[in-house]
Structure formats: structure tokens, C-alpha cells
Amino acid sequence: MDESTPLARELASEARRREKLAGRSFPRPAETRILTVSNQKGGVGKTTTTVNLAAALATAGLNVLVIDIDPQGNASTALGIDHHAEVESIYDVLIDDLPLGKVVAPCPDINNLLCAPATIHLAGAEIELVSLVAREQRLSRAIAEYAKEREAAGLPRLDFIFIDCPPSLGLLTVNAFVAAREVLIPIQCEYYALEGLSQLLKNIEMIQKHLNADLEVSTILLTMYDGRTNLAAQVAAEVREHFPEQVLKAVVPRSVRISEAPSYQQTIMTYDPSSSGALSYLEAAAEIAQRQ
Ligand SMILES: Nc1ncnc2c1ncn2[C@@H]1O[C@H](COP(=O)(O)OP(=O)(O)O)[C@@H](O)[C@H]1O
Ligand SMILES: [Mg+2]
């Protein structure tokens, strides 16, 4: 291929990256891996990362569940799951002890991908949870029950569960931290990227100390990377310096295709599988599956 122009070089490099991934099968984890996707900043790419990684892993044949605990229900929307106010949702699971299996729905476009939707009722759950027994453990228990139920019904074990958190550190996010083993932090490659991160890490430490000793920040994904700016490169370098073990090699570019997909109730994996955004999320998913 002629690599004399920047565009040609970029296409050639994408082709090489694609070739590397082609035919690679993702290993199944020895036990279900539960990742909480968290960052108390809004708009950093939590939901986008949740649905696209989940879709990438499911497309590779793994069994994946997305649990949406953001009252906005953006993850449910992106996965094409009904979540209007009357739908039974994760709200009923957390507040009324409805079994998780009763609200889990299959994603219409992707095999092996399930979603427990969020409805607007969740907005009140932060307050309603306060007076309930075992208020921090409700999601964790619901997931454990669901795993037993699946086994009893002869359904395959889930390989991955992703929990899409709201942009706050309230009881909903605490439930996610208690239910998970791993925290995945998406970081937007922009000026204030690291601001607020120490608060998040402090909260995670508190959870480790009091509620879930096994919790660890396993993965950091750099998102909305704009290769044309020095700033993005600087932020990426800084994050890698602080968290050399956690930051994935794969970086998600800023891409219009990625931001368009949810309005078609799609992930990038089905909306535009040949895009650079889909390639990046597939690479990130491969890395996550590889590291266990
Ligand atoms: N890589 C990307 N390129 C372009 N836009 C993106 C990218 N990732 C996310 N977005 C857009 O940025 C906004 C915030 O992303 P979202 O995933 O909803 O963040 P959060 O869940 O942290 O609030 C959304 O409009 C989304 O479509
Ligand atoms: Mg979100």
C-alpha cells in the first residue's frame, strides 16, 4: 500500500491493527468477571465504554450482561432495551427485591448480550435505599442469586458483567462497588482529566476498607482521544505515568460515529463495525479479556 500521505498511513495502520485481531478468540474467564464502570464526572464516556466493550466481548462469543444503574438509562437506550417508566427494571431489583432474572432482557442486535435496564424511578432510589436493610449489598446479592438461578436453569455462566454507574458517588455507585471485583475508569483525554480522580480513588479505598476488600482498579481506558492535539498526548502520558499497570494500550479516538450510534439504539459494533471506533473498542475488549 502507498503510505506516502497521512491518510494512507492511517488506513494502512488500521489495516494492520485489524489483521492482528482477526481470528483471535477471546479467552473465557475462569469465573464471572464483574466490572464497575465508574467516574463521578459526567460525560467522560462511562456509558459509551460500557456498551461498546460489552458488545465487543459478546460479538467475540462471550456471555455478557450490562447492568444499568444510571437513572438516565443511556446504556439501556444504546443497547435497544425498552426502559420507559412502566418497565420492571433494576429499580425493582434494588428496592423491591425483584429477582434480577425478571428484568434482564436480550439485546436485539447482538447475541449473548443481556441488559438489566434502568428507568427514571432509579432517581429516587438513592434516598429510598437509605432506610433499607443491607442497603450497600443489594446489587451484589441480586447478582449472586441470578447466577444460581442461571445455573439451576442450565444456562451458560456469564463471562462478564459490566455495571454502568451514574456520575455520582452515592448509594447506587456504592452498590456497584460492593458487587464488583474490578473498577474500570474511563478517562477523557482533556484538560481536567485527572481532576476528581483522587476523590474517586479515596472512595474506592473506603469501600475496600469497609465493604469489599477484593475491589481493585484493574483497568483505565483513555477515551475521546484527539490525535491532532498535544494536549491529548500529554494527558495520556500523564495518566500512563501514574497508572502504568492499569491503562490499556488501546485508546478510543474522538469519533462522530461513536457518538451517533446511541441515537439509532446501536453500539458502534453494529452501527459501524468497520470504523476506527469499533476497532479501538474491540482492541480494548481483547486486552481486557487477555488480562485475567
Ligand atoms: N470516543 C468518542 N467520540 C466522540 N464522542 C463520544 C465518544 N465517547 C463518548 N462520546 C459522547 O460523549 C458524550 C458523553 O459520553 P457518555 O458515554 O454518555 O459519558 P458518561 O456516561 O460518562 O456520562 C455522549 O454524547 C457520547 O456520545
Ligand atoms: Mg452515562
Using the 8-state DSSP alphabet, how is residue 178 labeled?
A: H
What global pTM score does this model have?
0.96
Alpha helices in 243-275 (DSSP H): 256-260, 268-271
- Assess whether the C-beta atom of 254 lies below 6 angstroms from ligand 1: yes
Q: Choose the residue to mutate in 259, 281, 283 for probing ligand 1, maximizing ligand atoms within 8 Å of C-beta.
A: 259
At 45-78, the pLDDT tens digits run 999 999 999 999 999 999 999 999 999 999 999 9
pLDDT at 155: 97
Cβ-proximal residues to 113 (8 Å cutoff; 6+ apart), any chain: 54, 55, 58, 64, 65, 66, 79, 106, 107
For the chain, the average pLDDT equals: 94
pLDDT at 16: 86
| Mean pLDDT, residues 209-238 taken together | 94
Residue ranges of domains in the chain: 31-290
Percentage of the chain lying above the pLDDT 70 cut:
99
At 182-194, the pLDDT tens digits run 999 999 988 777 8
Atom of ligand 1 nearest to the CA of 225: 1
- How many other C-beta atoms can be found within 10 angstroms of the C-beta atom of residue 134? 10
- For residue 188, give the ligand nearest its CA: 1
Give CA–CA dist 181/43, Å, rounded. 24
- Assess whether the C-beta atom of 76 lies below 6 angstroms from ligand 1: no
Find the range with the poorest average confidence among 19-28, 103-112, 145-154. 19-28
Give CA–CA dist 108/276, Å, rounded. 23
Give CA–CA dist 124/71, Å, rounded. 9
Pull the grid cell for residue 8.
494512507
Atom of ligand 1 nearest to the CA of 48: 17
State yes or no: pLDDT of 271 exceeds 80: yes
Atom of ligand 1 nearest to the CA of 50: 17
State yes or no: pLDDT of 1 exceeds 60: no
In the reported structure, the alpha carbon of residue 148 is separated from the centroid of ligand 1 by a whole-number distance in angstroms of 34
In the chain, the amino acid numbered 157 is R
Q: Is 66 helix (H, G, I), strand (E, B) or coil?
A: strand
Query: Which region, left, alpha or beta, applies to residue 73 given φ > 0 means left and ψ of -120 to 50 means alpha?
Result: left
At 93-146, the pLDDT tens digits run 999 999 999 999 999 999 999 999 999 999 999 999 999 999 999 999 999 999
- Assess whether the C-beta atom of 52 lies below 6 angstroms from ligand 1: no
pLDDT at 2: 66
- Assess whether the C-beta atom of 42 lies below 6 angstroms from ligand 1: yes
The dotted CATH code for 31-290 is 3.40.50.300
In the reported structure, the alpha carbon of residue 48 is separated from the centroid of ligand 2 by a whole-number distance in angstroms of 7
State yes or no: pLDDT of 240 exceeds 60: yes
| Mean pLDDT, residues 225-239 taken together | 91
Give all strands of the β-sheet with 113-116 in edge-to-edge order.
105-106, 113-116, 64-68, 160-164, 33-37, 182-188, 216-225, 247-253
